[in-house]
Amino acid sequence: MAPKTMFEKIWDAHVVYEEPGKPTLIYVDLHLTHEVTSPQAFEGLRLAGRRVRRPDLTIATVDHAIPTWSRDLPVTDPIAATQLATLAANAREFGITFYDIRSPHQGIVHVIGPQLGYTQPGKVIVCGDSHTSTHGAFGAFALGIGTSEVEHVLATQTLPMMKPKTMEVRVEGTLPPGVTAKDIILGIIGRIGTAGGTGYVIEYTGEAIRSLSMEGRMTVCNMSIEAGARAGMIAPDETTFAYLRGRPHAPQGADFEKAVAAWRTLPSDPGAVYDRTVVIRADELEPYVTWGTNPGMVAPISGRVPQLDEFEPGPDRQSAERALEYMGLKPGTPIREIPIDRVFIGSCTNSRIEDLRAAAAIVRGHKVNPKVRAMVVPGSTGVKLQAEAEGLDQIFLDAGFEWREAGCSMCLGMNPDILAPGERCASTSNRNFEGRQGKGGRTHLVSPQMAAAAALAGHFVDVRELTKER
Amino acid sequence: MEPLRVVTGIVAPLNRPNVDTDQIVPKQFLKRIERTGYGPAAFYDWRYLEDGSDNPEFVLNKPAYRGASILVTGKNFGCGSSREHAPWALLEYGFRVIIAPSFADIFNNNCLQNGILTITLPEEQVQELIRLAEEQPGMKLTVDLEQQEIRGDGIQIPFEVDEFKRFRLLNGLDDIGLTLQHEDAIAAYEQRRPEYLTYGK
Ligand code: SF4
């Protein structure tokens, strides 16, 4: 048999129906839903008199619009409250497991799926959210879909899809100290651009990827969509299996061993052919900071805000010019000299326990710069409880950070956590689009370590020097 | 979903690459639980001034482009989030056809689900259309999906479109209905689904 990529194996194992020239019907193993992209889908089902085909493969939680202040306070935004109540009612009506705002399992969908063991190698996973690519870190084919597709999956447990192409992004060699998973993916997007992955499923390979923890792998896969890719994935290995063992919704006992045996057959065969391959050397990567209004506009911490003549005349230069104007930055400014007003540590990209540990290690025993308002928003209630058990909350609080309840929060500012116009934020999230964190707000994407260090200094600093000094 | 065969209408130029879905519909409008009511939210931050009045600088606010049904824009249009609110807003604004050098994948799918035709043309051709629409505000074009052709004064541009996408748009067919014709195949798959995918609850 011809060697196959991991993506092709998963695709082939999920073909329900195919006909030449038409999209293939693919079976879905896990469907995650949340309050923002599902109400219209459930409404559509109701109008058509349809039921949810597999409520047992569907779970729901609230994350996008909820406040992250104390859970004892009511949700004061009436429209957000309606959305939450609507999801609760839909989950009840259609028999779907629902982790509501007070559940210990509540959290950002892309954090709780893995944490609870729902996310597993070989699965096809969908969610009405573009960062569903996160789950690909386990060797799953996980993709974001729109609301009509959510309705389609609810009704049929399948999704019609044209087969995407495959791209290998190989990160060779070992990662230098101070360079994190976030920097790998920012480095990749900086090279291939925000549309570089359009039409592709990216498989990340190479030594630097293999050496990442599951948390790090999730950070990389999470931002595949920022490179335009349909999905990102990483082959499952011992790290993956160790992470999943014992999680409540992972296979248990003898089933776990049987599952591991099957999962071992998933990685791409030697000699499998990708439609495109990009090779990046880990030792060329540095801690990165975005300077513009899309995640491809990125510079190393040692670098400067680019000059306009570094861009081809035409749309790219215009777009850089607009970005600099929006961001209030002068070409040539050293990245380190950019002062910041806010720091946000959170989002499905970087709000897992390991991210919080890494940030706390920088913060411990220091104070947030008095000009800066900084907050930590754990990705799930589970992460929050674990961090508190480890005393991380105290480290952040002592330094002057706010310590919040779990949710998406200032990643997209649908809840009350937003930037004021002109405020500049070092953020561990994934999008620096105009207005993403609040109208007129200016977002710089960085790793948790870089965000923590910036909070203390009041401007960007090179974490590599910080760790040397201490 | 409305069938789409031939659209004749005013062409609105939006000469920017990488217009993301946060720009098409900012998040504060995502809290509604309906599919409708997003038209006034389209391009919100660009379109209105602080006091809520129309921003005269924003190109789509120019009187000549009012009522446009064809949008011509830059590459990677619709990148960012999966929010279907973006095509809902564009549709309600009046757009049935969007022409660009490239589109983000999820956005492209979402357009198809809502009867919006996305047409990919080479960058030079798109720039030419943008230039014409800017120089002759209010210019009309006919987009003929049956003939796969864009026509106008001295303009005749053929375009490629996936055969199945064309079939669905021409007939206004809903995906769920089409898929449910294969319900037997779904049930059969559920019988042969690999066992390891069914462990765990
Ligand atoms: S944390 Fe941000 S990117 Fe992630 S799901 Fe929430 S809003 Fe989307």
A123 at interface of B, judged by CB pairs closer than 8 A = yes
pLDDT for B32 equals 83
| Closest CA in chain A for residue B20 | A433
Query: What separation in angstroms does the CA of B135 have from each of A139, B11, B14, B131?
Result: 51, 11, 13, 6
Residue B193 lies in a domain: no
Q: How confident is the model at residue A329 (pLDDT cuts 50, 70, 90)?
A: very high
The tally of CA atoms less than 13 A away on the side-chain side of residue B141 is 31
Tens-digit pLDDT profile for residues B25-70: 998 888 888 888 899 999 999 999 989 999 999 999 999 999 999 9
- A26 touches A16 (CB < 8 A): yes
Residue B35 in any domain: the answer is yes
Question: Hunting for tokens 């095509």 — which residue is that?
Answer: B87
- pLDDT tens, position by position, A287-297: 999 999 999 99
Q: Identify the weakest region by mean pLDDT among A67-76, A137-146, B152-161.
A: A67-76
- In this structure, of A161-175, A271-285, A411-425, the range with the lowest mean pLDDT score is A411-425
For residue A131, how far is its CA from the centre of ligand 1 (angstroms)?
7
Q: Which CATH number does the domain housing residue B30 bear?
A: 3.20.19.10
pLDDT exceeds cutoff 90 at A69: no
Residues 6+ away with beta carbon under 8 Å from A130: A144, A225, B80, B81, B82, B106
Q: What is the pLDDT of residue A61?
A: 95
Instruction: Please check whether residue B185 lies inside any domain of the structure.
Output: no
Tokens standing for A253? 């006992």
Task: Calculate ∠ Cα A163-A164-A166, nearest 5°.
Answer: 125
Q: How far is A118 from chain B (nearest CA, A)?
A: 8
State ipTM: 0.92
Edge-to-edge order in the sheet of strand A342-345? A402-403, A373-376, A342-345, A424-427, A442-445
**In terms of pTM, does the model score above 0.90?**
yes
Question: Number of folded domains in chain B?
Answer: 1
Establish if B111 belongs to a structural domain.
yes
Average pLDDT over all residues of chain A: 95
Report yes or no: B31 at the A interface, CB cutoff 8 Å.
yes
The answer to the question of residue B22 being in a domain is: yes
- Is B13 part of a structural domain of the chain? yes
- Which residue of chain A comes nearest to B34, CA vs CA? A40
> pLDDT for A351-373, tens place per residue?
999 999 999 999 999 999 999 99
Between chains, do A21 and B106 touch, taking CB under 8 Å as contact?
A: no
Residues of chain B with pLDDT under 50: none
For residue B180, being part of any structural domain is answered with: no
Is B192 among the domain residues? no
- The residue ranking higher by pLDDT, B152 or A415, is B152
- Domain ranges, residue B38: 6-172
- Of A87, A84, A147, nearest to B88 (Cα)? A147
